Amino acid sequence: MGFGWQELIIILVIVALIFGTKKLTNIGSDLGGAVKNFKKAVSEQKTDNSEDSEKSNS
């Protein structure tokens, strides 16, 4: 039993009223930056691991 589109719109309106649209924009950009940095760190970790395994195999 998930949320329907009507419930999601109501929740979005309530959140916008509580925080304001400017604050939501800041939260969204901060969250996007955090996800971007997380993905970058994961890809760097995979690269480091593959380089380490290549060094140990040779």
Q: What does the longest C-alpha to C-alpha distance in the chain come to? A: 60
pLDDT tens for 17-37 read 888 888 888 988 999 999 999
CA dist list (Å): 30 to 3, 14, 27, 37, 40: 25, 21, 5, 11, 15
Domain residue extents for the chain: 3-49
Does domain 3-49 sit in CATH 1.10.40.30?
no
> For residue 40, with 0-12 CB atoms within 10 Å meaning exposed, 13-18 middle and 19 or more buried, which class applies?
exposed
Q: 58 falls in which pLDDT band (50, 70, 90)?
A: low
Q: Dig out the tokens for 54 from the structure.
A: 């290549």
Give the global pTM. Answer: 0.54
Alpha helices in 1-58 (DSSP H): 5-19, 21-57
